[in-house]
């Protein structure tokens, strides 16, 4: 039985970029606490497998495909769902991409793609959902930041920039929307074993660096992010607003 403070029964959670990886894992976690899940990605076809995974757990699942980098598409999709289905109580802004190159050689098109997917989408979908949440005087938004919110590594300077922006946008959202009943926080994952990190996980040298650099001594596993999401989405975090919760095995705590 879910503790009452962490019970999300009767709530609906939209998770962007939830076809795989962190987004799908967070969807599974929120569903386990009782939330109805709305899966998002650019293509409905790519969400079918994720939907099947959730349905196998007994979760209630809807699909809401749209491009998070398109402001009007996000607003149209959210407005349509709110009108024809039910209120979105929880938003997880998870959609994101990574591009790697030495900064002096970084492709401007990749830079723009990072801006649009990692930062602009948080604004687009956040605003679309917040307009409805404000009218109800309640809502929870969780933005997915990164260990790179606080720390940098070679070849990913633009990505690091975007995740720093997500942290500050989270604070701005909490400042503007907190008085209107919304709670907006962020989760900053460390190095997790995800499809996006598959090449790094397969690299013995990099995995050895993770083991030495992280107090936990290993890569994070996706289910280890679920508790943070449930906490921030639930009444257990009723007085938590504008915060960035690092889930990184201790990496950001030490030199």
* Sheet strands (E) in the chain: 12-15, 36-39, 61-63, 90-93, 139-144, 182-189, 244-247
Question: Residue 71 belongs to what H/E stretch?
Answer: helix 71-84
Residue 244: strand pairing partners: 186
Sheet holding 139-144, edge to edge: 61-63, 36-39, 12-15, 90-93, 139-144, 182-189, 244-247
Catalytic residue among 81, 159, 191, 239: 159
By DSSP bridging, strand 61-63 and strand 36-39 are parallel
The yes-or-no answer on residue 159 being catalytic is yes
Contact 102, 155 (CB under 8 A): yes
Q: Which residues are catalytic?
A: 159
């Amino acid at each position: 039985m879910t503790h009452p403070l962490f019970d999300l029964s009767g709530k609906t959670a939209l998770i962007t970029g939830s076809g795989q990886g962190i987004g799908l894992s967070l969807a599974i976690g929120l569903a386990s606490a009782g939330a109805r899940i709305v899966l998002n990605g650019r293509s409905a076809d790519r969400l079918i497998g994720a939907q099947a995974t959730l349905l196998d757990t007994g979760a209630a699942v809807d699909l809401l495909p749209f491009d998070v980098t398109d402001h009007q598409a996000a607003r149209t999709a959210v407005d349509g769902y709110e009108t024809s289905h039910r209120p979105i109580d929880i938003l997880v802004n998870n959609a994101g991409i990574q591009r790697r190159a030495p900064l002096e050689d970084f492709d401007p098109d990749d830079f723009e793609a990072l801006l649009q997917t990692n930062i602009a989408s948080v604004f687009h979908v956040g605003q679309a959902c917040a307009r409805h949440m404000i009218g109800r005087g309640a809502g929870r938004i969780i933005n997915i930041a990164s260990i790179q919110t606080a720390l940098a590594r070679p070849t990913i300077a633009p990505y690091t920039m975007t995740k720093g922006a997500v942290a500050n946008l989270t604070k701005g959202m909490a400042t503007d929307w907190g008085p209107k009943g919304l709670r907006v926080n962020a989760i900053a994952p460390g190095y997790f074993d995800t499809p996006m990190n598959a090449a790094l996980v397969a690299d013995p040298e990099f995995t050895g660096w993770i083991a030495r650099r992280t107090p936990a001594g290993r890569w994070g596993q996706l289910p280890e992010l679920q508790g943070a999401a449930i906490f921030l989405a639930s009444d257990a975090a009723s007085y938590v607003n504008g915060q960035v919760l690092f889930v990184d095995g201790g990496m950001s705590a030490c030199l």
